[in-house]
Amino acid sequence: MIDWVKAEVRRIMNTTIWSWEGWVSAWGREKSLRQWTALNVISAVAVFLIDLTPGERALILALGLLVLAAELINTAVEEVVDYISEERDPRAKRAKDAGSAMVAVAAIACGVAWLVVLLG
């Protein structure tokens, strides 16, 4: 049992380190991640300055984090596509465009939530 706990703690520590390294790498290379993060900070401040219910706050904060997650996935897709080949290929373009669309859809969802909360 002790060995299992040690192994799980080590696994969680490694996962945390790798996740942090992924964030730092994406932060350094992706201007869009920095922009979305800035918008998320502004949004997070706003949800606590405006009279909202806890559920509304949670929804907006969670959707903001979803935008960041989508941006990180998009970054991963772009990195893999570029690693495989730097040649122009319509499949590579479609993969990159789909990743970009994923970020856009997540951002639209966050914007819709803000609109509904503010206008509702």
- Active site (annotated) includes residue 78: no
**Residue for token digits 């992924």?**
22
| 75 vs 105: CA distance, rounded Å | 16
Which residues are CB-neighbours of 50 under 8 A, at least 6 positions away? 118
| 81 vs 92: CA distance, rounded Å | 6
Tokens of 2: 């002790």
Q: Per the residue annotation, which of 8, 56, 71, 78 is the catalytic one?
A: 71
Catalytic residues: 71
